[in-house]
Chain A
Amino acid sequence: MTLLKEPDFGTPERPGEATVSVEVDGLEVAVPEGTSVMRAAALAGLDIPRLCATDSLEPFGSCRLCVVEIDGRRGTPASCTTPVADGMKVRTQTPKVEKLRQGVMELYISDHPLDCLTCPANGDCELQDMAGVVGLRQVRYGYEGENHLDAEKDTSNPYFDFDPSKCIACSRCVRACGEVQGTFALTIEGRGFDSKVSPGAAETFMDSECVSCGACVQACPTSTLQEKSVVELGMPTRSVVTTCAYCGVGCSFKAELRGDELVRMVPYKDGGANEGHSCVKGRFAFGYATHPDRVFNPMVRDRITDPWREVEWDEAIGTVARRMRDIQSRYGPSSIGAISSSRCTNEEVYVVQKMVRAAFGNNNVDTCARVCHSPTGYGLKQTFGESAGTQDFRSVAEADVIMVIGANPTDGHPVFASRMKRRLREGAELIVVDPRRIDLVRSPHIEAAHHLQLRPSTNVAVVNAMAHVVVTEGLVDRSFVDRRCEGFDEWAQFVALPENSPEATEEISGVPAAQLRAAARLYAKARNGAVYYGLGVTEHSQGSTMVMGMANLAMACGNIGRDGVGVNPLRGQNNVQGSCDMGSFPHELPGYRHVSDDAVREVFENLWGGTLLAEPGLRIPNMFDAAIDGTFRGLFVHGEDIAQSDPNLQHVTAALEAMELVVVQDLFLNETAKFAHVFLPGASFLEKDGTFTNAERRINRVRAVMKPRTGKHEWQIVCEIATAMGYPMAYDRPSRIMDEIASVTPTFTGVSFDLLDKLGSVQWPCNASAPEGTPVMHVDEFVRGKGKFVVTAYVPTNERSTRRFPLVLTTGRILSQYNVGAQTRRTGNVAWHPEDVLELHPHDAEVRGITDGAMVTLASRVGRTTLRAEISDRMPAGVVYTTFHHPVTGANVVTTENSDWATNCPEYKVTAVQVGLAHPLGHGDRTPGRARGETPEPARSEMPEHVGDQDPVRAGDDVLTAVD
């Protein structure tokens, strides 16, 4: 495969039905009205020279290289900014324009270092290309005059350099930062000859607002903004199109390599999810795949206190099989199970659940989606009939009111956030429902119409109050409801009760009634109202109720079944949707069909052989409980770090310690591996062949960029374990696994690797009714027939603030880090987030004597940890916030066993805590500085250890010495 260069039509597409016919250099071409002359020419096969134009950006008309002549018009207009007109005759190559272009190029080159042979962009430089295209043969102006050749290079960013000596001031980077990314960190500073790209007033890129999405690097036509990896390794020579393994947006990338060495990841323009955009993680943070911490050989040990012993694959697989069967012989068939990962491919996840059901002979399989979006699966299945979001990402471009609930898209789902911000800049209204003032509330050219800053755990009270307004103020879309839904009357009576009025819920949620009423009216009256939500909805004891509450509200307002509307979960990990689709829950076979359904089991029994259990198995938290009570003794953990990511870690580690056999498959010896008896090295996404399914149900191909460095594919390892246990499982390649999935899953019957290679990607359902997939669901009717209104009573969480634990902790993530940080902590991204910090309100800090940067102890009734304080008014007083990206912090040491009533999704978002200075008062304040990039205080190891098994009162007493 060679280096893939996507076509660039110079200016963006202008979608429209009306077409006009033009003639370019004698060639007839019909294009949509509003298309630029440059794009029309490109569609006719004629590339007009250009430097400041590219089809991801609006035309700018500054470089003057794309001038043309048009019959009947005076002068030489820029083809990028001139729209076509019917009957127009354009000439792109005339002596006049050729002379002009040569003159322009001569001026550009007169202020450009002529170091092409040693320049990192050699061979990939549009300035170099255009000099050739326009036939530049001489530069009459010497370097004696004023120039920019000595401009200082900015190497502050860990991933790319900024060399202003090579800048041609085309503004593509500035425009990309604004138009594509929506950050507006860059500007052109100065005027005329002094014009220069600047990331802020006398700031470096690293100190600026830049979020390192790479859009500017992508847009730069020269080597001014250049990946450090290209500088170090050279220009790549071949491309493989694959899918990012970070968040649930599922961006398509060209992995660009020299031989087998990955040089850079470049966002793919034809990627359905990202359409050529990227974020700092997917674009740059791939170095973990080659990090020295990776393990390549299997290892075993008898006890977790023993040292690891490297073994051959056969011995490792044999050990797993033998010990699992031994446990079953002593404790019964249901004494073992597995946890699959949303980071793995659909094919890998499918074979894990098949191994559990067919080889283990039970349903003890769960996925890490349990701890993030299991309430989405439950809630949307109950109301709409399908456990998935309703829209594609493109849909947001049609939304008029966007309601973001419990999500922080600019940090968690940055590439989708850029789409959303573009729509908001175009005039869509924004409602943010979040205890924390996320960046979206107020960012460049965006300001939320309403920020409902509710107290953590009161989502359901707020959504019920919004529904109250809709029902009692006559804002219901009766036509939609009467045609499409059932259960409305009972639900409407419930939400109309006085206790659900905004005035009544204000005391619960803290959201002013008038503001809530205004927000509800705004959403209900919108032509298209769309809901986007995240873990701030699901990770509550009422997570499933809230999902149903949002679905109720959308149905009541007729906001389902077309572009611009919907109820849209923003999935955390790359394959959360897919892992759920593939039957990873203990109560569901692939395609969300309950194990008690005889007809469904029969399908799988006929294919797999044997008899499948009709009873649900253990969910992840239930596995831990069963391990401690002795009935669950063996666990296979596939690509998940439960000893860092799951709540109430003392409980988790006690469960792991109680097991006879823990098998971990991962890239690294993670926290869970400390409790493992067998370690099976995993493959990075660059070594995988398969598919991921993103948050919009889009199935994307994951293509192996290189062979697995462990010598085996992960799906092969799972199959070999099953086979060693006496249940033969074998596939010659992963496409065969997808073929099997398609043969047993009604929503996947049309899916195959061939189809994906042909279409690029496809959104399920993909079957005879929708052979090319389904971008928007529930268009004419809901999957379950009628949309079902479900009464959503507000039940307060059991987690209550007390005098001893008066604050509420809520958790989240940050742009540069991902999940438990196993990947991003092993990349240059640590430059932005070297440690987790505790954000707390100035008032809460002041009364505790806490200053910005001080080390503080965070304690709940189950445990405590130590981290650095960051004073911030993003949260209201009484609420503190942290991330969970670093194991040294162990934020989940303090989170509790509370969980969603329907799915056991942990209540990460609500923990009653106390915060105090990490050292007793009177011992001298040694508050460290808080400069960016500063490493954590070395004395951290001297901080108090976790106290999970202590009496909670004593733990609290210890903390309160500094604050009582």
Chain B
Amino acid sequence: MTGSVPPERRMANDIALNLGHLPGESAAEAIAGHIGRFWDPRMRSRLLAYVDAGAEGLHPLVIAAVRLLR
């Protein structure tokens, strides 16, 4: 992969940036819903592991969405 940013981090942050305009809890819910609906389970697992490992560079809404995914 190019660069040092793990793909799951990049993609999750992109989703958060594009759904971040939604109000309140609905933004995290929409992000979690999108990841649940379109991501292969191993990608979700890697994202969850990345959060467990410190979540460096992750958009706060992704971290909130990961809570919902768990």
Contact = CB atoms under 8 A, between A and B. Distances in A.
A743 interface: no
Given A587-B38, A596-B37, A795 B2 contact: no
Given A542-B18, A897-B10, A901-B14, A334 B2 contact: no
B25 to A, nearest CB: 16
B14 A626 contact: no
B52 interface: no
Contact of B18 (A587, A631, A650, A795): A795
A301 B27 CA distance: 50
B21 interface: yes
B15 A902 contact: yes
Contacts of B14: 541, 798, 899, 901
B1 A896 contact: no
A586 interface: yes
B24 interface: no
Given A622-B7, A901-B15, A902-B15, A586 B1 contact: no
Contact of A897 (B2, B17, B20, B40): B2
B40 A616 contact: yes
A596 B36 CA distance: 10
Interface string A634-651: 000000000000001011
B38 to A, nearest CB: 6
A594 interface: yes
Contacts of B39: 616, 622
B3 A897 contact: yes
B15 A334 contact: no
Interface string A659-692: 0000000000000000000000000000000000
Contacts of B2: 648, 650-651, 862, 896-897, 948
A545 interface: yes
A440 B17 CA distance: 35
A155 B4 CA distance: 56
B1 A628 contact: yes
A619 B40 CA distance: 8
B12 to A, nearest CB: 10
B18 A793 contact: yes
In this complex, which of A494, A795, A899, A903 has the most chain B Cβ atoms within 10 angstroms of its Cβ? A795
Contacts of B43: 618, 622, 625-626
B38 A795 contact: no
Contact of B37 (A541, A616, A617): A616
Question: Size class of B's contact patch?
Answer: 20 to 34
Given A334-B40, A616-B40, A628-B1, A897 B18 contact: no
Contacts of B41: 334, 615
A791 interface: yes
Nearest to B17: A795
Given A542-B18, A650-B2, A651-B2, A899 B11 contact: yes
B41 to A, nearest CB: 5
B contact face: mostly helix, strand, loop, or mixed: helix
A761 interface: no
B1 A651 contact: yes
A899 B14 CA distance: 9
A651 B7 CA distance: 12
In this complex, which of B22, B39, B41 has the most chain A Cβ atoms within 10 angstroms of its Cβ? B39
A615 B1 contact: no
A811 interface: no
A628 B2 CA distance: 11
A345 to B, nearest CB: 27
A710 interface: no
A904 interface: yes
Interface string A892-920: 00001101011110000000000000000
B1 A622 contact: no
Contact of A334 (B3, B21, B42): B42
Contact of A626 (B15, B18, B42): B42
A899 B8 CA distance: 12
A651 B20 CA distance: 30
B53 to A, nearest CB: 15
Given A618-B40, A625-B1, A791 B21 contact: yes
B48 to A, nearest CB: 14
A594 B36 CA distance: 12
B33 to A, nearest CB: 11
A948 B1 CA distance: 11
Given A626-B42, A631-B42, A901 B17 contact: yes
A862 B43 CA distance: 23
Contact of A622 (B15, B22, B40): B40
Interface string A418-462: 000000000000000000000000000000000000000000000
Interface in B24-70: 34, 37-43
Interface string A603-635: 000000000000111110110111010010000
Nearest to A618: B40
B18 A625 contact: no
A292 B32 CA distance: 52
A154 to B, nearest CB: 50
A104 B15 CA distance: 73
A553 to B, nearest CB: 18
A903 B15 CA distance: 10
Contacts of B42: 334, 618, 626, 631
Given A542-B18, A545-B18, A791-B21, A617 B40 contact: yes
Contacts of A587: 37-38
In this complex, which of B3, B7, B20 has the most chain A Cβ atoms within 10 angstroms of its Cβ? B7
Nearest to A623: B40
A897 B7 contact: yes
A904 B37 contact: no
A899 B21 CA distance: 20
Contacts of A626: 40, 42-43
Nearest to B39: A616
A759 to B, nearest CB: 36
The 6 closest A-B pairs by CB, nearest first: A901-B14, A793-B21, A901-B18, A618-B40, A625-B7, A795-B17
14 contacts: A587-B37, A587-B38, A615-B40, A617-B40, A618-B42, A622-B40, A651-B2, A791-B21, A798-B14, A897-B2, A899-B11, A902-B34, A904-B11, A948-B2
Given A587-B38, A619-B38, A626-B40, 19 more contacts: A364-B40, A494-B21, A541-B14, A586-B40, A618-B42, A618-B43, A621-B7, A622-B7, A624-B1, A625-B43, A651-B2, A793-B21, A795-B17, A897-B1, A897-B10, A899-B14, A901-B14, A902-B15, A904-B11
